[in-house]
Each structure stands twice: as C-alpha cells, then as structure tokens.
Structure 1
Amino acid sequence: MDDEREQPAAEADTYGSVGEMLRLEREKQSLTLTDIADKTRIPMRHLKALEASDHDALPASTYEIGFAKAYGRALGLDEEHIANELRDEIGHRPSYDRTRDRDNFQPADPARTPPRLMVWTAALIGILLVAGYGIWRGFFWTSDPADPYLGTANQQQVASATPVAKAPIAPAGPSASDPVVLTATKEVWVRIYNGADDTLLMKTMAPGEKFEVPAQAENPMINIGRPEALTVTVGGREVAPLGPPERAIKDIGISARALLARDTGGAATNAASAPGTT
C-alpha cells in the first residue's frame, strides 16, 4: 500500500514541473479542479496558478509549498516529496518580492485550519459565560447604599426599602446569517469577489456609499488599498477593521461567519498585547 502511494510522487522528476505532475495525476484520477478545491479549500485561482507553475501569481513560497502539499495529499501522493521537489523548482527561478502578499494571506495549509464549528462553539460558550456572570453579579454583588458597617437589622431595613437593581442580560451578538454591510467613510477603491474569483463589485466607493454583500455569495472576499476607509457591520453591529491603516489587503473573507470569527480572534489579540500583559 505504501509503495503504491509513493510511486506517483517518485515519478515527479520525469515531468517538467511539480504543477504539471499534479495536473496529470489529477486527470489520471478523473478529478476536476473543483474536486480538488472542495477537498483542500484552496481558492480556484491558486490551484490554476499552481498547475501552471505561475509562481508570481501565488503568495510566498511557504504558502505555495503548503498548497502543493495539500493538493498532493488530496491525490494520495507523498506530500513531503512534492514539497522537496517544489523547493528545488522555486530555487532555480529568479527571485521576486512576495513580502506584500505574505502579510495578507492565511496559513499555508488551508486543510489544517480550525473547523468553523469549533470557532463558533467557543464564541457561543464565551457569550453564555459573560451573560451568566452578569446575572450572578446582579444577585450576589448588589452594593448597599448605606454605611457598610451597619448592623444586620439596619442592613435588612435598608435592603427592604431599596430596590435591588438587576444587571441587564447581555443581548445576543450577531450571527452568521445576519447581513454584512460595507460603508465607505472616504473615497476608496474596492473589489469584492467570490471563491471562484467572480467579481461582485469593483468600483471607487464615494463617502457614505454602502454595499450589502449578497447573502448567497460563496466565500466572498475583498481587495482594498485602504482598509481604514471602510466600516464593516454584521447585523448592524460594527466589527473590527479589515486590516491596518494605509496597507493594502486582499483575499480577506467578508462573509458574516468569517468576520465574526476574525472579530473574536482580534479581540483576543488586542487583550494579549495590552500594557501589563505578558
């Protein structure tokens, strides 16, 4: 069984490139690029660039190698052998600057990203804990407006005359089914597209102009030069900025599910970097 798995990868040297080897092996197994995209969750345009050995169209080499390993794993090939072959192939090509892309792409192996169900479960638990803590504080930590050194009898009289204020229950946050609305705060160029790289919007938005991301769009993403010029809301609630000021970003997910998961992660990062924390 191991010999059969390693045999296709061992023949990679006989092809012109790793991308050609992956394409021919895919066709040999009667699979389409859509089949590979479903298995690996790699965007279609990256799969096409990988098969065409168009390295300039891919992010940094670390991410490209991760894509190739996930592709090979989907075909049942030796992914480490594929990674080594691709490193040699990239090493013989002219160098090019991918620093800008490296800052804006997700981890190299999309197949190993945390399941969405796990992220949403953690977020729901956090909301329930916050709400429960607020209720507990309302019942057991109501402050006494009188002298804290009063006797028990006087404290009971004051308590009976003063209504106990209950902490309000925190409202439920936005959900993955809520609408996503983008509002320009200043003139800014944007391109919004789906996972198949089909353009949903490409224009220069005027200040105050809004765009609601279509609910039926599959894996919508954005390319924008100035993220600070755009306000993003999910169900009417503003979420964290899409990126740092004055830095172009692309391939950033803007579905409600992606934004809420990113917002939760951004809050945790900010808390960890606050003064006095380690």
Structure 2
Amino acid sequence: MAEEPEIETGAVDAQESQSATPGAKLRAAREAQGLSIQDVATRTRIAQRQLEAIEKDDYTALPGIPYAVGFARAYARAIDMDEVAIAAEVRHAVHNSDLGANRYEVFEPVDPTRVPSRALAWTAAVIAILVVVGFALWRSQLLTPPTTEEIAQQEGAALTAPQQPASAAPAAPVNQTVVFTANDDVWLRIYDEAGERLKDGLMKKGESFTLPADAHNPMILTGRPQALTVTVGGKPVPPLGAADRTIADVPVSAEALLSRAAPSSVSTIPAPAAAPPSAQGGGGVAPAPVPAPSPAEAPGT
C-alpha cells in the first residue's frame, strides 16, 4: 500500500514534464483558441506536417535547427504567444536532441516565409558570376600591353592626321553691313518680304541708312537709283538701276548686292570716222594733206 502513491506521483511528474515542452504549449494555446492545425498553417504558410512535428517536439522531421526555431517562432506569433520565449525553449530542446549533435547552420531565419526562394537565389548567383567574369575580362584587356602591330598602326594614324596649327586664330567675321547714302535728294522705300517698311520717305543729300542685319529678303522701290550710293562692308556696289528709271522689288540684301555683276572698267574708244569718198565716184585717191606753211611764208611777214 505504501508504494502506490510513489507510482502515481511519478506518472504525474511525467505528464507535467511532457506538457511543459514547447510543442505542448503551442498545441494547448491553439486548442484554447478553438483553432485547427490547418488554421495555423494558413496563417503561417508553413506545411501542416511541419507544424505537427513542432507540436510533437519531433525536430528530426524538420530540415534543420534554423527551420525548427523559425517555424516555432512563427507558430507562436500566429496564436499570440511569446515568440521569443518559445524560440529559446525550442533552441534549447533542439541542441539537446540528436538534431543538435550534427548541426551545421549558424543562422536562424526570423520568419521562414521570408526566406528567399530557390529561383531568386540562383538568379542572384548567376548575376554575381557574370559580374565577376565581366570584371576579369575588362581588367585583362586593360592590363594587356599593345602588340607591335597595334603600336605601328597608332603611330601611322598620328602621322597621317592633319596637323592643326596651335596658334591659329579663328577667322574674323566678314562685315556685310549694307549702307545707303543719298548723293542727292531722293525718295525711296525699303521693305522686307512680309511687306514691312524698313525705310520710307525722302532722304536728304548726305543722309545715310543702314539696313538691319535681321531683315528678311529686303527690297527697294525708288525712281532715282543714281541718287543712291550703296556699300556692302564699306565697299561700293554697282548702281541699282538706270538713271531716272523707277526700280521696284530689287533685292538689296548683302548676298544679292554682292552677286551683282561689277561694272566694266574698260572705256569704249570710238573708232575714227572713215574718209569721205572723192568727187569722181569714190574710186579716186584722197588728196595729200597740204603742209603747214613755214614761219617765213606766213602772211604778213
């Protein structure tokens, strides 16, 4: 009769020890909330068989220590338990189990649902390999000395390249200012392509007008072209028209004036008049000229 209480006490201690495991605490909290193991799997996105292994404290059925601790932490978070305490208990239990004797992992994922997928890991590895290979090729090309043929080609290209004088100054812009100067009183009208009047009225003798540089296709109308002296860049150009002849729509831009033909500088000498024919029908010989009288023979001497 005295041994029976000892047996009952040992059974109670075993039951209390078993209910104090992390898996038992998780299962009891889940059942107290009326949740099924499938509900927890949906919340944590962890396979149901792995959650069942956590509840049974069967850590050998899991991939490794990090997964055992991470799955337990996610389980505790899903049912509002102290995930830090549960993770510490699972870590202690795993290290004392067969799984802890052959552990190789030194990290613990915070949440297994956030672990990168295998495809993402392979993609990152391929990108890293391509970067390393590209850098190696670039460095090998950079450090490879040029061959004798490449050096000869570079020297030949440098010799054949046109040499530009270092001290060559840029060419000065050509002065193409158009100036109209009245050498007599003259009426004129200068207008552009759109019909806008740039100059309209009487110009007194000695008055000048400078054509705007931005005038678009300027033209002139006047009745006395000879009363105007036109210069382009300070150089005179030929008259715009005949004297006392009205001209209209005559282009007076610098390009148009410079393209006008320069006046001929050779004067025309009239040919000598032919000798009149003789009285006998033009067939005779012209009489010889009479010599001028000498001073002794001049009248009055």
Shorter-chain TM-score bucket reads 0.3 to 0.5
Higher normalized contact order (CA 8 Å, seq sep 6+, divided by chain length): 1
TM-score computed with the length of structure 2 as normaliser: 0.34
Give the TM-score taking structure 1 as reference length.
Answer: 0.36
Greater helix share, 1 or 2? 1
Mark the structure with the bigger radius of gyration: 2
